[in-house]
Amino acid sequence: MSVGTGTDSVKAVVVLAAGGGTRMKSRRSKLLHEVCGRSMLSYAVSAAAALNPEHLVVVVGHQRAQVAEHLESLNETVTTAVQDEQLGTGHAVGCGLKELPEFDGEVVVTYGDVPMLTGETLQRLVATHREGGNAVTILTAEIDDPTGYGRIIRTAGRITGIVEHRDATEEQREIREINSGIYVFDAPTLRAGLAQLSTDNAQGEQYLTDVVHYAHAQGRSVGALIIDDIWQTEGVNDRVQLARMNEELNRRIIEHWMREGVTILDPRTTWIDVDVALATDVTLLPGVMLQGATTVGEGARIGPDTTLADVEVGAGAQVIRTHGSFAVIGENAAVGPFSYLRPGTQLGVGGKIGAFVETKNAVIGDGAKVPHLTYAGDAVIGAGANIGAGTIFANYDGVNKSTTHVGEAAFVGSNSVLVSPVDIADGAFVAAGSAITEDVPAGGLAVARGRQHNSPGWIAKRRPDSKAAKAAAASDGATHPAVTESRGKLKG
């Protein structure tokens, strides 16, 4: 995201993010807790950036080092201001303005813990401010239970002030129009109003709302934009509210994708982060979580019970009961069930990663198969190769990790160990049960196991009274009839 200076830009946006967030009961700043895959603070910065402000200031306080570091990852043009003491919203805005040069124009004030507030709503708020020629414009909402919110005081329809819930009379507490705490101010009015603030109130703080009283007393116009979507005014103070916010935003994301042509069988058990991208005719089965920057191509089928984080899924692919992160799944490929795709996994077009397979830094070519019960770490597997059940790519010697190469159309038999670094060339075969420590040439066969040795009569000598001994005696040493018949069919 970037901060611009377009002709419709505002002079400044001040994002208040200094609160302690003690009710979250976390060592991490409240603002860094995520809603649908992004921090609450990142939503606030994105919404502010939509106004193209010349100055974007975030006021920090508690756990400021965490917040400042996170801000650097979002946008290097953000200015931070420090509120050392929590003396109220008016004091916080004053701290933000101290970091800026003197200017005329509009100042937008918003919060770092209101994740569903959109840039479009802020643009509408600024437009309302300009159309009304206001000194102050407030984002308000009408709610059934306004307990805890500041009330909008109107006289003959005109806003004359805001009273906080603790300071309100019983009559004022019946008012349903509430203050969201989000404003547009004329800069000179804001500075003059801040200079008049006192702490003569129930909280003993400098209320930013008192600037509204000041503007009215000066004969300046105070306006409002009443928003129907009250979720955009909701803040998050504890983990219960955080869960509710995640649930509501996820509901909206799911509804959006269904309207875009995605089939979601059970929206109640499906979670999709805000930055996920889905193509038409994607099908999501119950228990699916798509996180981070995951993308899913047209006609792909995901789930059930699948979690993908920052995974690219190609068109027509199928992913069943799988956990994957930072991986690429090619078109028409098949993954699962019970597969674990770790970072660096790349599965080619029409390839397969099957049941109980774990991959890491594995590049698996087009049409190649790793069907079941395999660990493929630091592997390059050529197109059309087949890796038998129970194969282990032994990539770590206790100090270093090395890569194993398996060529095109090569075949690795079941229960083999490939001790890296080793190359199995194109078209080569590895016999089942082999421990491969040397390269295998193209078209060659590698057998690395001890020869089988049979000891006739061993059961009768060592365990004469066992069930096995009785069964052997009854067969008179002959091969089981079913085995004889099966081998006869194979020879035929």
- Find, among 237, 172, 163, 233, the residue nearest to 201 by Cα: 163
Q: Are 111 and 17 in contact, with CB atoms under 8 Å apart?
A: yes
Q: Are 122 and 48 in contact, with CB atoms under 8 Å apart?
A: yes
Q: What six digits make up the tokens of 416?
A: 């083999």
Helix (H) or strand (E) holding 45: helix 40-49
Beta strands in 164-198, from DSSP E residues, in sequence order: 177-186
Interhelix angle 187-195/89-98, rounded to 10 degrees, is 120
Q: How far is CA 196 from the centre of its chain?
A: 44
Interhelix angle 187-195/210-217, rounded to 10 degrees, is 110
Contacts of 223 (CB under 8 A, 6+ apart): 128, 129, 132, 134, 136, 137, 138, 159
Beta strands in 124-165, from DSSP E residues, in sequence order: 136-142, 151-155, 158-163
- Find, among 37, 14, 39, the residue nearest to 26 by Cα: 39
Burial class (CB in 10 A: 0-12, 13-18, 19+), 69: exposed
Q: How far is the C-alpha of 395 from the C-alpha of 379, rounded, in Å?
A: 8
User: Would you list the DSSP string of 211-272?
Assistant: HHHHHHHTT--EEEEE-S-GGGG----SHHHHHHHHHHHHHHHHHHHHHTT-EES-GGG-EE
Beta partners for residue 444, in sequence order: none
Residue 353 three-state SS:
strand
Q: Of the listed 91, 129, 213, 372, which one is catalytic?
A: 372
* 256: annotated active-site residue: no
Supply the residues annotated as catalytic.
Answer: 372
